[in-house]
């Protein structure tokens, strides 16, 4: 499994993101997921970049996805704990 993941990442690195969204890797992904997504889903996908929520925990900078509904709660809990 790890070899397949490494090969997939290497393929995207060499051929670019289009390999993932419209190339052979997209074909493999759609086949593996057995109808959960389609080639059209991948081809029409648009990346939306959002600012991550960042905090410091025990001297480490931690980033949390701002899209996750619980991110703000986790952030507040970590700040309240103040390791």
Q: Quick one: pLDDT at residue 13?
A: 93
Both 32 and 58 in a single domain? no
Q: Quick one: pLDDT at residue 56?
A: 79
Both 33 and 64 in a single domain? no
Total of domains in the chain: 2
Both 57 and 80 in a single domain? yes
Domain membership of residue 36 as a residue range: 2-43
Per-residue pLDDT of the chain (83 residues; tens, 9 = 90+): 689 888 888 999 999 999 999 999 999 999 999 989 999 999 999 888 888 878 777 788 887 776 666 656 666 665 666 55
Whole-structure pTM value: 0.59
Bridge partners of 62, per DSSP, are: 55
26 vs 60: CA distance, rounded Å: 36
């Amino acid at each position: 499994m790890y070899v397949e993941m490494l090969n997939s990442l290497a393929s995207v690195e060499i051929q670019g993101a289009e390999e993932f969204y419209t190339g052979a890797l997209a074909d493999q992904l759609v086949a593996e997921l057995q109808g959960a997504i389609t080639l059209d889903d991948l081809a029409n996908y648009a990346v939306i970049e959002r600012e991550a929520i960042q905090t410091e925990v025990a001297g480490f900078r931690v980033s949390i996805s701002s899209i996750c509904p619980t991110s703000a709660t986790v952030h507040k809990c970590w700040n309240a704990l103040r390791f």
